[in-house]
A = this chain, B = another copy of it.
Amino acid sequence: MATMDPDTVNSSAVFRLGVLGAMATDLFANRIEAHELKPKHVGLMVVLAAGRVSSQLELAGVMGVAPSLVVALADHLEKLEAIQRVRDPADRRRQVLTLTDHGRALLATCGELAHAADAEFAADLTPAESAVLTGMLDRLAARQGLPPAATDHS
């Protein structure tokens, strides 16, 4: 490349995705605040709703957070009666988390709030753009189990 643009950073997808993502999360956090939820609580419920995973360690893996954080998030969701925590009879070390009816209702409410926020934040997203976002999220989620590039100081 010849003379480089003075602000190459700002033209990178990673950087701008980060900035926009932070704004989006702040917006979403404000919308769900009244329900005593934070974005990560919703994230946990979303993973649960997907139905592929139920133990806390697996949750931590999919969400990319420490197991100890899942404990705190699950504690809170249990207090809200949004999830049930039951020891797996087949392996009593595991806690099996399941969404309660109330949890599903809460999640649906968050869905409505999120889409309302979309109207403000990403009003004119074309279906193609939505598809790209979805595709990226799916593929990145599919990369779980790779060397944790995010927090590897070993």
Contact = CB atoms under 8 A, between A and B. Distances in A.
Q: How many copies does the complex hold?
A: 2
Given A8-B107, A16-B133, 20 more contacts: A5-B150, A5-B152, A6-B150, A7-B149, A8-B110, A9-B111, A11-B134, A12-B115, A13-B24, A14-B114, A15-B114, A17-B20, A17-B122, A19-B21, A20-B136, A20-B141, A122-B136, A122-B140, A123-B143, A129-B135
A52 to B, nearest CB: 12
Q: Pick from A14, A19, A123, A146 the residue with the most CB of B within 10 Å.
A: A14
A108 interface: yes
Interface stretch (A42-50, A67-75, A78-86): A42-50
A12 B117 contact: yes
A125 interface: yes
Interface residues of A, number: 74
Interface of A: 1-2, 4-28, 30, 39, 42-43, 45-46, 49-50, 64, 104, 107-108, 110-112, 114-115, 117-118, 121-126, 128-130, 132-137, 139-141, 143-144, 146-147, 149-154
